[in-house]
């Protein structure tokens, strides 16, 4: 166990060189508004802190250290060049409200990235001011709402969402003021078009769709689906969570989507950072241009690239960020896009799909059951352990935890909710065949263990810094912050 940083050091110890030596009086501030008691923070030397956080970092599995086939998250290699550019001192010192002439070089990079993304998605225009995928979804469905309103179509307040969708989809739709109606999925993994047709009507605002879906398969009747929704007066929202499967080969704009977001931290390889910061690119069809969130970059023929002004976006859904979005993430995505270029971007989808299909075939040969055996996998695929759960009494969670002992980060478990005891496996295009083969070996060993020593599985992981944690206790005896004096839970 590594103690908390608050438990290290001694009262009065500090990293003296990191704060000013001066200690001027605050004699101009009213005493009643001054802090009476210092906050209980760490009291450590610089070495104490550096060693502590370095040691903590070593308690993580990460792409740089482990194969990380976490489905739906596209854990591909994050180029160090991206980080180098985003940490250039001139960029770090750039104030967001600096005059635009100081920002031109950065804005030029953003314009280039926008244009490249517009080409690979088939959208009329892409903007980069959303700070996460979920915020991109909120912006996208808000645009759908603004579009219908602008046409006086106030009745369109229902958003359709397939039952396999990410949880953010319905949550974003509700935040944007919609009612949500779920559309069922057929046993073969495609959306039930008959049920969709029955749900469509004058109240339909649109549909939110991921393609390939969260089930890892391509929506084969997408063209017909788009036609049905458009004929009913609705719009199509593309959740770009799975764009990596088809990047450079198929464009959401060509499938009939009107608005989309894509996660730059997935498809464009910016770091996941332990859970953020992400960034979303938001793309729209021509007719939705007036509603884009602001500020966005304007390629002004006279001034050069600049931020949009209120008069550039009078019908905008509004602002989403304190400033202009997650600039450092966008610059990293720009580096990735420029490194790959046309040939690189065109190869992402095919090789991601190759790796997923290869793993699916190899795991099936070991006896693992694919959730959609008649379908071609996209860039990820679902294994269901429902048979093993019955036969051996082991769960998807047990297999996931045991993989940690084999030096592999677990795939996504128990998502989507439609498939029992599932593992969602996404290897990405940057993994080599030998890494995939080592994963297959691990899964083979685990399979043997199911029959020979299921307790070993149920007790896993054995080699990590801690063993399985008591989640029930965590929620019941809520301990969310350290307090001085030791009484950490109330």
Orientation of helix 100-121 relative to helix 327-366, angle to 10°: 30
Q: Which of 114, 137, 421, 449 binds other proteins (CB under 8 A)?
A: 137
First and final C-alpha spacing in the chain: 23
Verify binding: residue 76, other proteins, rule CB under 8 A: yes
Q: Is 412 in the site for other proteins (CB under 8 A)?
A: yes
Mark the segment that binds other proteins (CB under 8 A) among 91-99, 284-292, 418-426, 443-451: 91-99
The Cα–Cα gap between 183 and 165 comes to: 10
Q: Which is nearer to other proteins, 384 or 413 (CB)?
A: 413
- Does 206 bind other proteins (CB under 8 A)? Our answer is no
Q: Residue 306 in contact with residue 98, Cβ under 8 Å?
A: no
279 in Cβ contact with 255 (< 8 Å): no
Contact 192, 185 (CB under 8 A): yes
123: left (phi over 0), alpha (psi -120 to 50) or beta: beta
Q: How far is the CB of 139 from other proteins (least distance, A)?
A: 9
174, 197, 228, 370: which one binds other proteins (CB under 8 A): 174
> Does 150 interact with other proteins (rule: CB under 8 A)?
no
Q: What's the closest the beta carbon of residue 118 comes to other proteins, in angstroms? A: 9
Question: 3-class secondary structure for 295-342?
Answer: CCEEEECCCEEEECCHHHCCCCCCECCCCCCCHHHHHHHHHHHHHHHH
Measured from the CB atom, is 133 or 283 closer to other proteins? 133
Binding to other proteins by CB under 8 A, coded x per residue (else -) over 286-305, reads -------x------------
401 binds other proteins (CB under 8 A): yes
200 or 345: whose CB is closer to other proteins?
A: 345
83 versus 386: smaller Cβ distance to other proteins: 83
Contact in structure between 410 and 364 (CB atoms under 8 Å): no
Q: Does 191 contact other proteins by CB under 8 A? A: no
Closest listed residue to residue 383, CA positions, set 351, 412, 354: 412
Q: Does 239 bind other proteins (CB under 8 A)?
A: no
Token readout for 20 is 């000013």
Phi, psi of 466 (to 5 degrees): -130, 160
How many residues touch other proteins under the rule CB under 8 A: the total is 200
Residue 396 near other proteins by CB under 8 A? no
Interface with other proteins includes 65 (CB under 8 A)? yes
Query: Which residue lies nearer to other proteins by CB, 353 or 395?
Result: 353
Given 113, 160, 164, 176, the residue binding other proteins (CB under 8 A): 176
Distance CA 451, CA 281 (A): 47
487: contact with other proteins by CB under 8 A: no
C-beta neighbour count of 52 within 10 angstroms: 19
**Residue 280: strand pairing partners:** 130, 263
> Can you tell me which of 67, 69, 71, 85 binds other proteins, judged by CB under 8 A?
85
Closer CB to other proteins, residue 61 or residue 300?
61
Binding test (CB under 8 A) with other proteins, winner from 67, 69, 114, 116: 116
Does residue number 192 form part of the binding site for other proteins (CB under 8 A)? no
The two structure tokens encoding residue 300:
């002004």
CA distance 251 to 121: 5
Does 456 participate in binding other proteins (rule CB under 8 A)? no
The residue written with tokens 């241009």 in the block is 289
94 forms part of the interface with other proteins (CB under 8 A): yes
* Angle between the N-to-C axes of helices 168-175 and 133-150, in degrees from 0 to 180, rounded to the nearest 10: 40
**384 near other proteins, rule: CB under 8 A:** no
- Residue of 261, 306, 324, 406 that binds other proteins (CB under 8 A): 324
- Shortest Cβ distance from residue 444 to other proteins (Å)? 15
Q: How far is the CB of 138 from other proteins (least distance, A)?
A: 6
**How far apart, in whole angstroms, are the C-alpha atoms of residue 320 and residue 453?**
53
* Bridge pairing between strands 179-183 and 158-162: parallel
| Residue 283 binds other proteins, judged by CB under 8 A | no
Instruction: Kindly state whether residue 454 participates in binding other proteins, applying the rule CB under 8 A.
Output: no
Site track for other proteins across 251-270, x = CB under 8 A: x--xx-------------x-
Taking CB under 8 A as the rule, does residue 170 contact other proteins? yes
Binds other proteins (CB under 8 A): choice among 10, 186, 342, 390: 342
Comparison of 204 and 269: residue with beta carbon closer to other proteins = 269
DSSP secondary structure string for all residues of 387-433: HHHHHH---HHHHHHHHHHTTBPPPEES-STTSTTEEEE---TTS-H
Contact 325, 336 (CB under 8 A): no
Among 67, 69, 70, 260, binds other proteins (CB under 8 A): 70
């Amino acid at each position: 166990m590594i103690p908390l940083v608050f438990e290290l050091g001694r009262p009065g110890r500090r990293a003296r060189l990191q704060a000013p030596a001066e200690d001027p009086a605050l004699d101009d501030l009213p005493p009643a508004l001054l802090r009476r008691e210092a906050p209980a923070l760490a009291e450590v030397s610089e070495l104490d802190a550096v060693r502590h956080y370095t040691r903590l970092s070593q308690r993580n599995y990460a792409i740089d250290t482990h194969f990380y086939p976490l489905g739906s998250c596209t854990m591909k290699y994050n180029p160090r060049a991206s980080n180098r550019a985003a940490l250039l001192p001139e960029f770090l010192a750039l104030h967001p409200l600096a005059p635009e002439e100081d920002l031109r070089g950065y804005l030029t990079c953003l314009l280039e990235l926008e244009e490249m993304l517009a080409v690979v998605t088939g959208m009329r225009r892409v903007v980069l001011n959303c700070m996460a995928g979920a915020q991109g979804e909120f912006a996208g469905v808000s645009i759908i709402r603004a579009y219908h309103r602008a046409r006086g179509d106030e009745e369109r307040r229902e958003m359709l969402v397939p039952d396999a969708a990410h949880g953010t989809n319905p949550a974003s739709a509700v935040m944007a003021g919609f009612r949500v109606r779920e559309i069922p999925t057929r046993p073969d993994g495609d959306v039930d078009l008959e049920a969709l047709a029955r749900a469509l009507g004058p109240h339909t605002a649109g549909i939110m769709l991921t393609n390939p879906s969260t089930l890892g398969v391509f929506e084969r009747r997408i063209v017909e689906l788009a036609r049905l929704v458009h004929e009913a007066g609705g719009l199509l929202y593309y959740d770009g969570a799975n764009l990596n499967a088809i990047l450079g080969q198929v464009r959401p704009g060509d499938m009939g989507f009107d608005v989309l977001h894509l996660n730059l931290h997935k498809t464009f390889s910016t770091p996941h950072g332990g859970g953020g910061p992400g960034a979303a690119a938001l793309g729209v069809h021509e007719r939705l241009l007036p509603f884009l969130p602001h500020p966005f970059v304007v390629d002004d023929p006279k001034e050069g690239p600049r931020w949009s002004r209120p008069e550039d976006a009078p019908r905008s859904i509004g602002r989403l960020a304190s400033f202009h979005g997650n600039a450092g993430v966008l610059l990293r995505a720009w580096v990735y896009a420029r490194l790959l270029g046309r040939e690189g971007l065109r190869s992402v989808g095919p090789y991601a799909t190759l790796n997923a299909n290869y793993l699916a075939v190899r795991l099936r040969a070991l006896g693992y059951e694919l959730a959609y055996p008649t379908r071609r996998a996209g860039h990820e695929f679902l294994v269901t352990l429902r048979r093993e759960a019955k036969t051996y009494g082991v769960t998807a969670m047990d297999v996931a935890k045991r993989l940690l002992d084999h030096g592999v980060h677990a795939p996504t478990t128990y998502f989507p909710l439609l498939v029992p005891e599932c593992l969602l496996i996404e290897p990405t295009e940057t993994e080599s065949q030998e890494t995939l083969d080592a994963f297959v070996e691990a899964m083979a060993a685990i399979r043997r263990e199911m029959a020979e020593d299921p307790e070993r599985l149920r007790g896993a992981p054995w080699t990590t810094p801690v063993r399985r944690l008591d989640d029930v206790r965590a929620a019941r005896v809520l301990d969310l912050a350290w307090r001085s004096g030791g009484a950490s839970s109330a």
